[in-house]
Every structure is written in structure tokens, then in C-alpha cells.
């Protein structure tokens, strides 16, 4: 999943366009982007039908309602909010709730999360931590998140992550560099080499 988190709407739009051109099929536009809702609306109109555009940093009920109202295909929260879960599930949106501890991970599933974003992983041990919590919770699908690089994807994959939320490391100095980085990340996420 390509995560768009920028300081300006223009930069975010450019990243979205580059990610789509590079073959990304899951595009998360975070609420930290200025005018995130309007940008999501634009990307929903412009993206090919096989691309799923969702909203991230959905931390509360108000943001969840905005994400649902704009038509986001999925909702990603860095936290485990019952209100976000209720609104997203009530609108039949794919739901990704953020958690870190085993208790939070199980709670996210109980709230209806389709996928649990284990976040932030790098500061707490990265792949080693994920592998440890996956041991007793291997039936819960987990997304690795929290600021790691493309070349670390195989370690997180081996630790049990089935999805990866990556933003800035996918962005190159130009569209060609971004395309190469995205292709590398997709190949590694699928278990191959680019």
C-alpha cells in the first residue's frame, strides 16, 4: 500500500499520480495532507477501476464519516478506535485498525478490522517484534507499518506481514525513479526479486 503523507496538496497529488503510473493498486491518502478529502475525491475519479483509493490517519469519528462520505474504498487508522470501526463497518468499508500490543491487535479484530496495522514497528524491534506477536496471533492478518524501507519488506514478509504500508521510501527524484522503487517494492512484497 502506497501511503501519501505530504505537507502540500500539490506534492501529494504528484505522488498519487506517480504511484498510479507506477502500478500501485492500493493508494492511501492520509488526513495529514492538506485538503485530503478533496484529493481523495479527485483520485477516486481519476484512478483506473482496479485501483483502490482509501484514506489514512482516520483517528476519530469525524474523519471516518468524511472518509466514508467521499467514497474511500478503505479506512486506515493508526489507532484502535471503536467509533472509526463502527462507522467504517457500517458503511461496508474495508477496515485497517492500528495496534501495537497483542491485546490491541486482538481488540482491533474484535472491532471488525479486516487487517490490523501493527504500528509503529521499527522502534519496538521491527520484524523480530512482529514475528513474536504473530506466534500466538497467526490467524490475524497483519500489515507492517511505521517507517521502514523497501529493502526491509522481505524481513517483514518472513515475519508474517501480508501487507506493507510504505510512503516516502517509494518516492524517487523523478517519475522514473519512483516507478523503479514501486516496482521493486511490489516484487519484494510478492516474495520475488525485481
Q: What is the reported pTM?
A: 0.96
pLDDT score of 194: 47
* Domains in the chain: ranges and CATH: 58-189 (3.20.20.70)
User: How many Å apart are CA 113 and CA 156, to the nearest integer?
Assistant: 20
Give the tens place of pLDDT for each residue, 16-32: 999 999 999 999 999 99
Residue bearing cell 527524484: 173
Lateral strand order in the sheet of 142-144: 2-4, 26-30, 52-56, 74-77, 94-99, 115-118, 142-144, 163-164
pLDDT score of 171: 97
Residue bearing cell 493508526: 78
Q: What does the buried/exposed string (b/e) look like for 152-164 if buried means 16 or more CB atoms within 10 Å of the residue's CB?
A: bbebbbebbbebb
User: How many Å apart are CA 146 and CA 148, to the nearest integer?
Assistant: 6
3-state secondary structure of 146: coil
Taking 70 as the threshold, does the pLDDT of residue 59 lie above it? Answer: yes
Element holding 3 (H helix, E strand)? strand 2-4
Pairing between β-strand 52-56 and β-strand 26-30 as defined by DSSP bridges: parallel
Confidence of residue 96 (pLDDT cuts 50, 70, 90): very high
Amino acid at each position: 500500500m502506497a501511503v501519501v503523507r505530504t505537507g502540500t496538496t500539490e506534492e501529494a497529488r504528484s505522488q498519487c499520480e506517480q504511484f498510479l503510473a507506477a502500478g500501485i493498486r492500493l493508494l492511501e491518502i492520509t488526513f495529514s495532507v492538506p485538503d485530503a478529502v478533496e484529493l481523495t475525491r479527485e483520485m477516486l475519479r481519476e484512478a483506473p477501476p482496479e485501483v483502490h483509493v482509501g484514506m489514512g490517519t482516520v483517528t476519530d469519528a469525524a474523519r471516518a464519516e468524511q472518509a466514508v462520505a467521499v467514497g474511500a474504498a478503505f479506512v486506515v487508522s493508526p489507532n484502535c478506535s471503536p467509533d472509526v470501526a463502527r462507522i467504517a463497518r457500517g458503511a461496508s468499508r474495508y477496515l485497517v485498525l492500528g495496534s501495537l500490543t497483542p491485546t490491541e491487535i486482538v481488540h482491533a479484530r474484535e472491532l471488525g478490522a479486516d487487517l490490523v496495522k501493527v504500528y509503529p514497528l521499527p522502534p519496538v524491534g521491527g520484524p523480530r517484534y512482529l514475528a513474536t506477536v504473530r506466534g500466538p496471533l497467526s490467524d490475524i492478518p497483519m500489515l507492517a507499518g511505521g517507517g521502514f524501507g523497501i529493502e526491509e519488506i522481505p524481513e517483514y514478509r518472513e515475519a508474517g506481514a501480508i501487507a506493507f504500508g510504505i510512503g516516502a521510501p517509494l518516492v524517487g527524484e523523478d517519475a522514473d525513479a519512483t516507478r523503479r522503487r514501486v516496482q521493486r517494492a511490489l516484487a519484494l512484497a510478492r516474495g520475488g526479486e525485481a
